[in-house]
Structure 1
Amino acid sequence: MGETGTVHIKHLPGQERYEASVTSDDGTDLQVGYLDYVSEIEQVVLTHTVIYERFSGHGYAGQLVKAVLDDIRPSGKKVVPVCSYVEAYVGKHPEYADMAVSVQR
C-alpha cells in the first residue's frame, strides 16, 4: 500500500490538535501524525509533533508544521515552539520568525 506525498490537515480545536493524513493508493485516508497545542489568549503553545514511525522520512512533519503556522498566522497570535521540531522548523524558515516567541530552557 503506497501513500501520496500530499498531507491533508484536519484541525480539531476541541482537542487542541491538528491531524495529518495521506490518501493511500486504494483511496483510504491514513493518519500519519499530529501536532498538539495549547491555545492561550495572545499565543499558541506548540507542544508536541508526532509522525508515526511507519511514515517518517517522507517530509510529513514539515508539511504539518507549515500548515499549522499558516493557519495560526491570520489570528495575529504568537507561537511558542516548545516542541523541538517546531523550534528547528522556525529556525530554518525565517518567514515564520516574526511569529515565534523564544522559549526559556
Structure 2
Amino acid sequence: MSASENVRVRRDAAAGRFEILVDEVVAGYTDYSDGTDGVREFPHTVVASEFGGRGLAGKLVGEALQVTKDEGLRVRPSCSFVAGYIDKHPGSAEVA
C-alpha cells in the first residue's frame, strides 16, 4: 500500500461479506455467515490479482475479526487464510 492510496474496510451485510477498498475500488472481500450458535463462519477470502502482495488480505481479515469480536461472536475459520491469520496473530485467537 502506498501512502497516497485510500484503503478502507467496509461491511456489506446484504452480500454477507467484508470488503477492502483501494481508492473506492473493491480490491477484495471475505465472505461470512452467522449461525444461530453465536459463531460467524468465514468460508472464503479473495483479493484481486492486481492488488496482490500488498498486505490487503491481512488488513481485511484483521478488521473483520475485530468487528466479529466487538459483536460478541466467535469465529469458525473454514477459509485457510483466516485460519492462518488467527495462528499468526495470537490476539485474534480468542474469537476462534
TM-score (ref. length: structure 1) = 0.83
Stretches of structure 1 that go unaligned for 5 or more consecutive residues are: 24-28, 101-105
SS of equivalent residue, structure 1 residue 15: coil
Q: Identify the residue that residue 31 of structure 1 maps to in structure 2.
A: 26
The 5 A counterparts of 1:94-105 are 94-100=90-96
Identity across matched positions, percent: 33
Poorly superposed stretches of 4+, deviation over 2 Å: none
Q: Identify the residue that residue 44 of structure 1 maps to in structure 2.
A: 40
CA RMSD of aligned residues (A): 1.4
Match of 1:89 among 65, 80, 85: 85
Mapped partners of 1:58, 1:37: distance in 2: 23
What is the identity, as a one-letter code, of the residue corresponding to 2:16? E
Cα contact 1:17–1:37 (8 A) shared by 2 = yes
The total of aligned residue pairs comes to 93
Larger Rg belongs to: 1
TM-score (ref. length: structure 2) = 0.90
Q: Identify the residue that residue 13 of structure 1 maps to in structure 2.
A: 13
Q: Identify the residue that residue 71 of structure 1 maps to in structure 2.
A: 67
Stretches of structure 2 that go unaligned for 5 or more consecutive residues are: none
What is the identity, as a one-letter code, of the residue corresponding to 1:39? D
Mapped partners of 1:71, 1:55: distance in 2: 23
| 1:46, distance to aligned residue in structure 2 (A) | 0.4
